[in-house]
Amino acid sequence: MKSGINAIMLIMIGLAVLMTACTNEPKTMTSKKIPLEDFFKNPDKSSYKISPGGKYFSFKAPYENRMNVFVQEIGKDEALRLTAETDRDIAAYFWPNDEQVLYIKDDGGNENWKLYGVNIDGSNLTCYTDFEGVRTEIIDDLEDIPDEVIIGLNKRNPQVFDPFRLNIKTGEMEMLAENPGNIQSWIFDHDGKLRVAIAIVDGINTQLLFRETEKDEFKPVLTTNFKETVYPVFFTFDNQNVFAVSNLNRDKTAVVVLDIRTGKELAVLYENPDYDVSGVYYSRKRKVLTSASFESYKRERYFFDAVTKDLFERLNKDLGDYELGISGYTKNEDVFIVRTYSDRSLGAYYIYNKDTDEISKIVDVSPWIDENEMASVNPIKYTSRDGLTIHGYLTLPKGYTMDNAKDLPVVVNPHGGPWARDSWGFNPEIQFLANRGYAVLQMNFRGSTGYGKNFWEISFKQWGLTMQDDITDGAKWLIDKGIADKDRLAIYGGSYGGYAALEGIVKDPEFYAAAIDYVGVSNIFTFLETIPPYWKPYLEMMYEMVGNPKTDSLQWVATSPALNADKIITPLFIAQGANDPRVNKDESDQIVEALKVRGIVVEYMVKDDEGHGFRNEENRFDFYRAMEKFLKENL
């Protein structure tokens, strides 16, 4: 908010490989086939938080197969359901004060979030932002001002968000500034005053703006190219300067103190030589920085504060067999909600009372998952064809190790984004595939975040080119090690990963035996023509990162799978949400139609009540059933 193999085992490995070859069906070294629904059904209870005063905790749990919010008094056994959403899961929620819970929800996956509030006795359910076609963003929860939150609305202009101060008792809203069209972020000081903004200028540069008071005009402080990060995280505790993450004049983002009036760094508080800092945290009560986080193969922390370091050491003493995080705490910072997890377990929630030094388990998130039956997620690295080190993860079916795994069917699984990354932890679809006998390879190809500015920049205009090569090189690395059966490789991904799956079977038509595209881009031209309106201010940046439709048109023609469907000979399964605002349904329709013209049948699943990914439980079940059948038939 961590063996050896005897002779009988070697014979079993040999039999497993032999039977795989003879039956064309993957075999694990365990006979237990876990029901598909166990991996993908909603958890019993999740997303625990605690009220500011510490009297109640809250959680999300299923009601009519949708995740709703419940509240329970600490020390009592019964919980009260606050919400009754039946069409869509509640996406996120939080406590603004001790009397209310706020939550956001969209309609059918359109990502036009609406903000709702409800009293903790279930009364006075209110939609504060019931505007058609408008998206609500939470800018600042104003923890020290219990009756107000700051939200952003693109009601006036679909492309930009204006900041509003919302009184959650009366529903009254006050616009704090009119976005001139280029402001992308608003930052408030510890008194809830709007004093910093981040703007886009000339389409590709970012500008830091500051004002002394809310009566003053914003003035530019620092202008940088968008490739450089100088992002204020929050004000210093005297409201005079800001703590920021910055990679200005360095490759990795570091924690710095920034003079907000001049844009000059006053001090570097922490930097890691190998990884970007991804988070900075502080104590509201004690007014000190507490920690920074970064991600190597899993999340790590640097502590600024002895109190926080002691807290984590105390938690690790009892819970250290798992990774852990703090998902909520009281205003007095004396009671904490702690979440544990690992690569083989969704973990549990605990309450830690600092005054009594007691840790009590609240609930296991998915008690039907036996972590002893799950597969380990192994960090790996390999070298790309042009000499770049690529980090990733390899999950082998239970019972196999890097030493004894031979000729396994493999699902190559590039992540979405693409400017994101895969992380270590429990991933239900990875565990599901491993349970069905497949090894799964995930890689943080060039452009993946967390590895520094240069690693990100070298991915620019490389969709379908070196970014794709990094994925292929990972699969070839597995083949060369003898782990992968070269005749039983599949590629599967969502969003950009879906694009990579399609491009993989265009670029190397005979390399993969099967491909699965989940809400993926198929035509770069039409993808950038149909982005959501609030992405439009970033279009010039995207042209520099992905390419320009005029100057890079020949490259786009060559690297858009829908325009090269004549090269596809690989069995293909496509899944798409009809309401997807990011990757329009036309992206999937195009390539299905292009293949249909050639007389090639593509398995195509469309869900009318979904967007960019399937959130409703029954749709997840349908998708993974179809995936299981498709892979079994083709690998």
565: domain CATH number is 3.40.50.1820
The amino acid present at 588, given as its one-letter code, is: S
Q: Residue 491: is it exposed, middle or buried by C-beta count within 10 angstroms (0-12/13-18/19+)?
A: buried
**The one-letter amino acid at 607:** K
Residue 313 within a domain: no
pLDDT of residue 203: 87
Does any domain span residue 161?
A: no
610 domain residue, yes or no: yes
Asked if residue 262 belongs to a domain, the reply is no
pLDDT of 442 reads: 98
Residue 547 contacts residue 527 (beta carbons within 8 Å): no
CA distance 594 to 438: 30
Q: Comparing C-alpha atoms, which of 289, 292, 249, 251 is closest to residue 270?
A: 292
| Number of C-beta neighbours around residue 487 at 10 A | 11
Asked if residue 390 belongs to a domain, the reply is: yes
The answer to the question of residue 316 being in a domain is: no
- Residue 25, pLDDT score: 47
Instruction: State whether residue 462 is helix, strand or coil.
Output: coil
300-338: buried (b, 16+ CB within 10 Å) or exposed (e) per residue? Answer: eebbbbeebeebbeebeeebeebbbbbbbbbbebebbbb
Q: What is the 3-state secondary structure (H, E, C) of 431-443?
A: HHHHHCCCEEEEE
Strands annotated E in 398-508 = 408-412, 439-444, 484-494
Cα separation, 502 vs 493, in Å, equals: 9
Instruction: Decide: 114 and 127 in contact? Cβ < 8 Å.
Output: yes
* Consecutive H or E run containing 539: helix 539-546
Alpha-carbon distance of 509 to 343, in angstroms, equals 33
Tell the residue number behind the tokens 């800018």, with chain if given. Answer: 139
Q: Which domain holds residue 429?
A: 7-31+375-634
Q: What are the backbone dihedrals phi and psi of residue 186, each rounded to the nearest 5 degrees, phi first? A: -125, 135
What angle is formed at CA 197 by the lines to CA 193 and CA 200, rounded to 5 degrees?
A: 165
Per DSSP, the residues of 79-95 read EEE-----SS---EEE-
270 is a domain residue: no
Number of domains the chain is built from: 1
In angstroms, how far is CA 103 from the centroid of its own chain? 19
What is d(CA 498, CA 489) in angstroms, rounded to the nearest whole number? 16
- Please tell me the predicted confidence (pLDDT) of residue 31: 53
What is the residue type of 299?
Answer: R
CA distance 589 to 609: 17
Residue 451 lies in a domain: yes
Low-confidence ranges of the chain (pLDDT < 70): 1-31
Q: Give Cα 171 distance to the centre of its chain.
A: 31
Q: Round to whole Å and give the CA distance between 374 and 345.
A: 8
Q: Tokens 């926080």, residue?
A: 308
């008690």: which residue's tokens?
A: 367
Count CA atoms closer than 13 A to 635's CA, side-chain side: 34
Q: For residue 261, give both structure tokens.
A: 């009036």
